[in-house]
Every structure is written in C-alpha cells, then in structure tokens.
Amino acid sequence: MKFEVEGKKYNFPASLRDITLGQRIDFYNRFGKDHEKENERIKDIEDEFEKNIESTALGIKMAVDSFSFFTDLDIELIKEKFDLNQILNVYYTSTQLINEQEKAVKLESEYVWNNELWYIEYPTVTAQSKFTFNEFITAKETIRQLKLVSESDFTALHYLACVFLRKKDEAFNDDFLNPQSERFKLMRELPMDIALGVGFFFFFLLMILLNFQFLTKEST
C-alpha cells in the first residue's frame, strides 16, 4: 500500500506476500512481545473508561511501531511529521486486508517462490511409510514447539518451513536446521502466505500422527 508524506512516497504491506517470515519474527521480538504484555495489562483494568483510553493508546502505538518497522523511520520522526489519521487509516486498512488473507490460507501441495516450485509432501503414516527416522523425530520436535506458534512466536514457523518445504524430490537434510546454512537463512525470506501454509500443513500432519498413534494402540 503506497502513501505519501511531505512529498515522499512510502510503502506499507497490505498483503501476506508483502511480509517475509524473517520480518514477522523480527517485528515480534522488537515490538510484539511488549504489545502482548500491554494488552494483558489492559485486560485487568476494571474501569471501562480507563480501559478504552488505554486500548486506544495501544492501538496508536501498534500503528506507529509498524510504520517505523516497515519504513525504517524513527518513531519520534513519525510522531512529529506524520498525520495520525493517515497513519491509522493506512494501518487499519492494511491490517484488515491481511487478516482476511490469513483466514483464507489453506493447505497447498506446491508453491511458486523465487521462480522455483517448492513442495510440501503430504505424509502417509503407515507401517510401510517412507517417513524417515529423522523426519519422525523432527515432526515430534515441531509438536513440542506448537506452544510457540500459538503464542505468535514465528520462530517455530521458521523451523517448520526448514523441515517441510522442499524442492522437487529433495530429501530432508539435518543441515537445513543449521542457523548458518543457506537453507535456514533462505527461509527467513519466505513470504508469509507460504509460511502460514506450512503452519497449516503442520496441524494436518499432527492430526495424521495422532490418528496413526490411536489406530496403532487399537490394533495391539
């Protein structure tokens, strides 16, 4: 989403494709944790008038912090030079569009990214499964990290993308999870629409693993 302030043009993300997984991780670490803490504090305020004032203040802070992050402009400069109504209008319009896109995310088997096809192989967990031991252990680890995903810590989603998103006929490699590896660094550049698709796949995989465990117990 493009907007102009004092003759200068700026871009603000208005779609999941405009935001990378790395940006989402960095924003959460820089601002998101504090936003969540402040939101929890506001929930405990009993006086409704005071709660509304604090909620409005938090909404403004979230908008300003987002502008600072995505435009690389100093927060104090934004407060001084930018019209608050314009900031809020762009921020809430963008947020609404992105929220609608998040709700529309669905499980896909392939994605086009960086002019290449990337695949998520649908697992079939049976006694004859081709799931390797390493992949099974890795899947178990992703289950342990589920709490991180639910708390909006997209570090876990980065991990999942390194495990499950691959090129055609590419086998899993432990080095994908090495923070110094090219694959690990590359996945930080993953657009959020694909990253959330990987997260959707994880829940699908979790259901398969739990169902397989249940059927195995029933047959013994």
Q: Quote the pLDDT of residue 52.
A: 96
User: Is the model more confident about 179 or about 210?
Assistant: 179
Tell me what percent of the residues of the chain surpass a pLDDT of 70.
Answer: 78
User: Is the model more confident about 169 or about 143?
Assistant: 169
The mean pLDDT of 133-151, rounded to a whole number, is 58
Q: Quote the pLDDT of residue 141.
A: 65
Residue 51 pLDDT exceeds 50: yes
Choose among 148, 158, 145: nearest CA to 206: 145
Residue 106 pLDDT exceeds 50: yes
pTM score, whole prediction: 0.83
Residue 147 pLDDT exceeds 80: no
Q: Of 79-93, 156-170, 180-194, which one has max mean pLDDT?
A: 180-194
The mean pLDDT of 63-72, rounded to a whole number, is 95
Q: Quote the pLDDT of residue 75.
A: 93
User: Is the model more confident about 140 or about 6?
Assistant: 6
Please give the Cα distance from 157 to 197 (Å, whole number): 10
Q: Quote the pLDDT of residue 128.
A: 46
Residue 186 pLDDT exceeds 90: yes
Please give the Cα distance from 113 to 170 (Å, whole number): 16
* Cα Rg of the chain, angstroms: 21
Please give the Cα distance from 95 to 99 (Å, whole number): 6
User: Is the model more confident about 154 or about 185?
Assistant: 185
Q: Quote the pLDDT of residue 96.
A: 95
Residue 57 pLDDT exceeds 80: yes
The mean pLDDT of 15-34, rounded to a whole number, is 95
Q: Please, what is the Cα angle at 37 between 32 and 42, to 5 degrees?
A: 120
Q: Tell me the pLDDT band of 21, cut-offs 50, 70 and 90.
A: very high
